[in-house]
Structure 1
Amino acid sequence: MIGKTPGAALGSSRYKITAANASKVLNVLSEFKIKYLFIIGGNDSAANAKELGNLSKLNGYKLQVIHVPKTIDNDLVGTDHSPGYGSTARFISLATMGAGKDAQTMGESAPITIIEVMGRDAGWIAASSSLGKNNYHDPPHIVCVPEHITNYEHFLNQLENAHRKFGYAVAVVAENSRNAYGIIGSKEEALYEDQFGHKYFEGAGFHLSKLAESQLKVRVRYEKPGTIQRSMVS
């Protein structure tokens, strides 16, 4: 069963290990005589593994901490790809193909679709939206990633050109896509900040969809798959 179940079956945590709370963790590990600890996850899990390993040495507790890569963002240094990314990439590529068919069918009533995907500061998930693209007229017509600055004028021109050529346009935007001033939408108050200090804003895709709608004078659909990107069995 586990082999065909999303990684959520293992449980999850957003607990940040610090010098202030590490003793509680080490006490529990000591109580159960645990000498080897595998921490599965992405950047924050790797940071926790490093911190706990260092603090265990300072506290004189012999503990081997091993970080196991698993992140849909696919942004761990030294890895080509990690578990979690492949299924998400497939899901997003299929969703993009489907959104393209829908926009093409709807015609002028809703000719433009902007899909916002996860990935934090990495554009791998957004880039995967192109996996199903066989011809230049297939979606996505535009992909925005955090690694490259999004120029609003260029973005709008690309959308308009695709709309004129094909009768519809689809853009895929990574959630932390940037303009010349920083993350798109970050000038507004953060919606949420987690224990690791990551701030969450109204997504870049939302802002770009409003911009496109006001400038191009057409209806723009804004799609945000959210957590189903990482929970679907693909």
Structure 2
Amino acid sequence: MPYRTRTILQVEFPVFQELPQLPTPLGTLFNSQFAKLPLVDTLTALPLMAAVIDFDNTDVAWRKYDSITARELFKQFGCSERLYRDVLGPLIQVGLFAPAEQCSAAATLAVLYYFILAHQKHFDVKFCNGTSRDRIFEPWMESMKATGCEILEGRRVTDFIINEGTGRITEVVCENVTHSADAVILAVGISTLQEIIKKRYVSSDFRYFLDSIPLSMKLSCKV
């Protein structure tokens, strides 16, 4: 009877903020403890950093690296077979939801850049001391109300009115009520955004929703 083997990735990430900040990407590379990976295999990841740094997310960079797979990229830069099997392969499978043989090198480098270079200090996980509503959102809402902000709860956004001349959203439709708007920020998940887009009747309106920018909220104190 045929059977399949599975590779289990075991890695221990320290609290990076409690350690000396090493130059990128040395902090992520050397402070992370891979239980089953010898140091000699870990060091073979260093040449790959040249490609990560070279990839600047421009059209030129995408054309340069999109023609090869992530697996081919790892081979070209000398990553050991064990490093690929025990670390890079599973990470790509989790990050891009596909094996490295099916992922473009450009998409892989974009993921590596985000987690290794752009957000090295953000690996630490912090848990809220209480519910997020009580500790974060309720005080946030109260502070906005204190500055004159009116919060309309229980209003579900169902559509937008777009000025075809300027390409700007001028009104927000909440079921049977329409609100004028100078600017609109969509703080919704991708499924909700897709549902809103599907309700647009003119296909040309779709282009106004194609550019999305992920935002992060920085707190002024511990909660």
Q: What band does the TM-score fall into relative to the shorter chain?
A: 0.3 to 0.5
- The TM-score, its normalising length taken from structure 2, stands at 0.33
Q: TM-score, normalised by structure 1?
A: 0.32
- Which structure has the larger Rg? 2
Considering Cα pairs closer than 8 Å and 6+ residues apart, tell me whether 1 or 2 has the greater RCO.
1
Larger % of helix: which? 2
More strand by percentage: 1
